[in-house]
Amino acid sequence: MSVDKKKVEDLLGRIDELLRILRFLMDDLSEISNTLKASLGSYTVAQEASLPESSGSRISIQSSIVSETSQLPRSQEEEITIEKVQDLFPPDLANLLYFEDAGEYIIVKPRQYLGPDNFRRIASIVRDQMSGEYISAGRDSHFRIPKT
């Protein structure tokens, strides 16, 4: 019975981790939605002011939004190092993380439980500034940042 109990405990741990990730995604999507709504409101007002009053055309927000990350492309020759990655994090976050060179990637692992706020801040830096990603693998979960 201890084997079944161990399997159940492992599954519960994985479910808890997935719930944390889903909360993180939900918070990100809410923030993006609010930003888009605010942008749409100010964009619509600006467009209506510049259009003649007889014009009844609708405005498409899709054509007006440009991703911030697409405005800051990384150089193809520039290789990312552990030091460059560490410098992107404020000291309070960097102290919570372990950085490892893994060939084509820089691996960033938490030294301890991060909590939702720190996780969100770290994920934002990894994703937005370094084009990295989060790899969910239970106790081996980590952030992976391509070197080139």
Q: Tell me how many domains the chain contains.
A: 2
For range 3-28, the mean pLDDT:
77
Do both 60 and 75 map to the same domain? no
From 50, 65, 80, give the residue that closes a domain: 65
The predicted pLDDT at position 89 comes to 93
Q: Are residues 87 and 139 in the same domain?
A: yes
Position 24 confidence tier, pLDDT thresholds 50, 70, 90: low
* pLDDT exceeds 90 at position 50: no
Q: How confident is the model at residue 71 (pLDDT cuts 50, 70, 90)?
A: very low
Query: Would you say 108 and 126 are in contact if contact means Cβ atoms under 8 Å apart?
Result: yes
Q: Domain of residue 27: give its range.
A: 1-65
pLDDT of residue 90 exceeding 80: yes
